[in-house]
Amino acid sequence: MRGLRRRHQRASRMIGGGRPSTRSLRQSRALHDALHDSPPPCTGDTRFTHDEWSPTELTELATICHSCPVRTLCRAFADAERPTAGYWAGKPYPPSKEHQ
C-alpha cells in the first residue's frame, strides 16, 4: 500500500496545478478507491514515474498496463488530469518543457 501512496503523491505533483475540476476529482476518487480494492501490477515499479523510457521499457510498461484491472480508471484519471510526467494506462507522458 505504501507504493500506491507514493505513486499518488507523485501524481499530485505531476498534474498541472491549479484547482482540479469536478470531473478530475471524481476520476481521482474512483481511481483511489479501485487502487485500494485491487492493487495494480505497477505497484512499486518506479519506471511508471520516470520522465524518460527506453523502447524496451515502453514495451514492458505497455504489457503491464494491458493486463491491469484498473487501467480504464487510470486512463480516465489521466485524461481528466493531463499529467505532466509519468506513464499512465499504457501511455507515456513525457515532462512538458514548463515542468522540467
Torsion angle of C-alpha atoms 46, 90, 7, 53, degrees rounded to 10: 30
Please tell me whether the overall predicted TM-score, pTM, comes out greater than 0.85 for this model: no
Q: How far apart are CA 22 and CA 97, in angstroms?
A: 27
pLDDT of the chain along its 100 residues, tens only? 455 455 555 555 444 455 567 777 888 888 888 888 888 999 999 999 998 999 999 999 999 999 999 999 999 989 888 888 899 999 998 887 665 5
Residue 1, pLDDT score:
47
Q: Give the CA count within 13 Å in the CB-facing half-sphere of 39.
A: 10
